[in-house]
Amino acid sequence: MDVESVCTDQDLEDKVLGRAHLQNLLPKDWLDVGLGRKVATIARTTALREVLEALARRRPPVREADLVYPSELKNAVCYAALRDIYYGAITHAESPYGKQAKHYASQFSQELSSLQPTVNAGVSASSLSIRISRG
């Protein structure tokens, strides 16, 4: 699954104070020379993998192939990416971002626990609905 179909840098910018704020948070080595600015692709990709792994651990598991609308994962991926970005900003320099990191970690946990993406049978992925759709 392509992370760009789930969560983009623009989605992250919309959840924080805009592009300039996100740029200040990102490590210097995340520069995309072609774009001329830093990008959060690493954080977004890691976050997507984390969300997919969490869904796969559910009983019954929700597999990537079961997902009909990858965009339903957007908030969970954005919050996990922002959590990691803020934690990174905290550890690399003294910063006032500790509260924000905790906020996004909490938002990610809440989003992930309530996430019920649509699966192949067109139903939301609660434990009962997956059992029914898989027969």
DSSP string, 26-76: S-GGGEETTTTEE--HHHHHHHHHHHHHHHHTSSS---GGGBS-GGGGHHH
Q: Is the pLDDT of residue 111 over 60?
A: yes
Q: If phi over 0 gives left and psi between -120 and 50 gives alpha, with beta otherwise, what is residue 18?
A: left
Residue 37 dihedral angles phi and psi, to the nearest 5°: -155, 165
96: cis peptide before it, omega within 30°?
no
Residue 124's SS3 state is strand
Q: 5-14, 17-26, 77-86, 115-124: which has the minimum mean pLDDT?
A: 115-124
Does 98 have pLDDT greater than 90? no
Rg (CA), the chain: 16
Indicate the residue type of 74. Answer: K
Q: Which two tokens stand for residue 35?
A: 């774009």
**Contact by Cβ (8 Å): 123, 131:** no
DSSP 36: T
Q: Which whole number is the average pLDDT over 71-94?
A: 87
pLDDT tens per residue across span 62-81? 999 999 999 999 999 999 99
The model's pTM is 0.74
Given this model, what pLDDT does residue 79 score?
96
Which tens digits make up the pLDDT trace of 42-57? 999 999 999 999 999 9
Q: Which of 36-40, 120-124, 131-135 has the lowest mean pLDDT?
A: 131-135
Torsion over CA of 51, 52, 53 and 57, rounded to 10 degrees? 100
Give me the pLDDT at residue 95, please: 62
